[in-house]
Amino acid sequence: MIDPARLPGPWRRFAATGWYLPFAVVLFALSLLPELRGYGTRLGDVPTHSFDAPAVVVVAVQCLPLAVCRRWPFAALGLVSLGFAADQLRGYHSPAGTALPLALIVAGYALGRHRRAAVALFTAAYAVLALALSRLGSGESPDEYVTFYLALALAWGIGVWLRATRAAEAERRRRVAQDTRTAERARIARELHDVVTHHVTAMVVQAEAARYLTVSPDRLDHALTAVSDTGRLAITDLRHLLDLLAPGHTGEDREPAAGRLLTLVEQTRRAGQPVEFTEEGTPAESTGSAGLVAYRVVQEALTNALKYAHGSRTSVQVRHGDREISVEVGTDAPASQDVSASQDAPRAVSPTGGSGRGLAGLRERVDVLGGEFSAGARAGGGFVVRARIPAGSGS
């Protein structure tokens, strides 16, 4: 079955409104059949009149406006109502009277700004019709006129309900689209934070250290080389992030290679942070997003160690299980006095400082996969970040 939403604009509009014309023509033709004359809607007790030339006009006025009722609902409803009134007053009682509730449904659905005016005019016109039928000697009681009016009001209410349903669905889709955009912006912000913050922090620390190595050309060259290497890694990760944002990207995060964790640790060591790295178990062939999240946890924890506890001993433990990856990164409490050669060297502060935006992003990443995340001070001083991340092809 063809989805109208996927059709080009003109064809989509035809799929939504094109059935009105054939329906109007079919109803017009059926109303002219001799076998069906006198079997239509009968309001009041006006005797059935034989079909004549004016009857064809009355039937046409009732049926044919349905062809344009979606585009001009107010005008179509007015013509159909006029034809219905003439049909009842003349006593034709044709099946064309079916067009009135249909016109009311479409008008209730399509009209927005002029809905109250339409209701007021239609009610007034119906009251005039009821009085005119009574003047002609109709035997209908007032209750029967009210009952028929309520039936017409129900048709109008169906159209209004359909319009409200469509508006609610449009609002739901708008909220879903907005939430999707917000989630995507948050994902991009997390990626930028993880990629840029770590590398730039390492470069800043290395550059600051190089200021105090001018007396040792070899150590200075080593420090500047570390800055260059870190910059190249930053460019590589930023290119990968740009690939994720490319329009043709599938939306799947590429899992870091197995050696990326060791590269990350080595980069942190070159920045002057003593890191002990332990990796247990064998990474599964397919861990879904768990491998990337584990990498980001280690990356963010080492970044915080560089920023807030530079020079303090840091340990990284990664355990690969059958169904999960466990990560623990601990940093000792920084020394109260920095033993650098100059008093101008940057002093370490508590790892609990900063905005915490990176840790909050990590918690969201882990929670999405159904894992557990914690970060805080540990007994004896220092800071520890722990994460348990479910791994598998479905992650």
d(CA 41, CA 50): 15
pLDDT at 321: 86
Tens digit of each residue's pLDDT (9 = 90 or more) over 346-380: 333 334 344 445 778 788 888 888 889 998 888 77
Q: Which of the two residues, 95 and 391, has the higher pLDDT score?
A: 95
Confidence at residue 103, expressed as pLDDT on a 0 to 100 scale: 93
pLDDT > 60? residue 159: yes
Residue 221 CA, distance from chain mean position: 51
Pick from 182-196, 219-233, 276-290, 297-311 the range whose average pLDDT is largest. Answer: 297-311
Mean pLDDT of the chain: 77
Q: What is the pLDDT of residues 33-64, one digit of tens each?
A: 888 877 888 887 788 888 888 999 999 999 99
pLDDT score of 291 = 83
The more confident residue out of 241 and 261 is 261
Pick from 221, 379, 382, 358: which is nearest to 297 by CA? Answer: 358
- Indicate whether 328 pLDDT > 90: yes
pLDDT at 152: 93
Alpha-carbon dihedral 230, 231, 236, 239, rounded to 10 degrees? 140
Dump pLDDT digits (tens) for 294-307: 888 898 888 888 88
Fill in the amino acid letter for 21: L
Provide the pLDDT for residue 104. Answer: 93
pLDDT at residue 112 in the model = 78
Rounded Cα–Cα distance for residues 394 and 339 (Å): 49
Output the CA–CA distances (angstroms, integers) from residue 249 to 195, 244, 245, in the order listed. Answer: 19, 6, 7
Could you report the per-residue pLDDT of 120-149, keeping only the tens digit for each? 899 999 999 988 888 886 667 788 889 999
Please compute the mean of the pLDDT values over residues 223-252 and round it to a whole number.
64
Backbone angles phi, psi at 286, to 5 degrees: -135, 115
